[in-house]
Amino acid sequence: AQRVTQPEKLLSVFKGAPVELKCNYSYSGSPELFWYVQYSRQRLQLLLRHISRESIKGFTADLNKGETSFHLKKPFAQEEDSAMYYCALSRGGGFKTIFGAGTRLFVKA
Amino acid sequence: DSGVTQTPKHLITATGQRVTLRCSPRSGDLSVYWYQQSLDQGLQFLIQYYNGEERAKGNILERFSAQQFPDLHSELNLSSLELGDSALYFCASNPGLAGGQDTQYFGPGTRLTVL
């Protein structure tokens, strides 16, 4: 069965510190992995997807098929990064996307 | 702005009642997805429609139903409401095509409060 696990419900770091939001998945095929972000009072939006291999707002995520992980990282956290982050998995082909439970990131001044 | 719209923004109702939530997808998107977001459950996938037909079902209760109309807007019907149904209900859309990107574009959500 497809599953996305985000082990941390809340992550609190100081501004300027590195941050890593963990995501592990279970899927037998080759999934597409995503990170979505929800800032306060805003709608959920795509942050990045593994296919694009890009860095958005200083965040990167590498798909590790051996460890079935897709951790989100940023070397220096900013206060404006405080938000809810969801890791998500899709099997492609326009079918449903499975979301993790989410991690709330709080960046302290 | 992602282009996905949802109405109403807020809905307050009583237990046992029935409500209808509406979603209009982005122009050109054929797939609509419904999610329930509650504090303790995170984002739960409910159901997906593609071009008017049900494509995938998630953790949707029998008291809930949905449909997608010819103009591609979708409605989520919640009946015999219980206190535990209080949540934020999101709609998302994408082209939904095989081989196409699976990025989902979310609406602002409808906050349902059952008293």
Instruction: Map out the domains of chain A as residue ranges.
Output: 3-108
- Say whether A86 and B42 touch across the interface (CB within 8 A): yes
The answer to whether residue A41 neighbours chain B at the CB level (below 8 Å) is no
In the structure encoding, which two tokens stand for residue A28, read together? 């037998």
Q: What percent of chain B has pLDDT over 70?
A: 94
Report domain A3-108's class: mainly beta
**Tokens 């049900």, residue located:** B54
What residues of chain B, 86 to 105, have a C-beta less than 8 Å from chain A?
90, 92, 94-105
Residue with the larger pLDDT of the pair A72 and A30: A72
Per-residue pLDDT tens over the stretch A18-50: 999 999 999 887 888 999 999 988 889 999 988
What residues of chain A, 51 to 80, have a C-beta less than 8 Å from chain B?
none
Name the β-bridge partners of B35.
Answer: B45, B90
Query: What is the three-class DSSP state of A105?
Result: strand
Type of residue at A32: E
- Say whether A94 and B97 touch across the interface (CB within 8 A): yes
Chain A residue numbers touching B35 (CB-CB < 8 A): 99
Would you place residue A93 in the very low, low, confident or very high pLDDT band (cuts 50, 70, 90)?
A: low
CA distance A102 to A83: 10
* pLDDT at residue B79 greater than cutoff 80: yes
Query: What is the three-class DSSP state of B84?
Result: helix
Distances (CA, A) of A42 to A12, A62, A90, B108: 21, 26, 23, 7
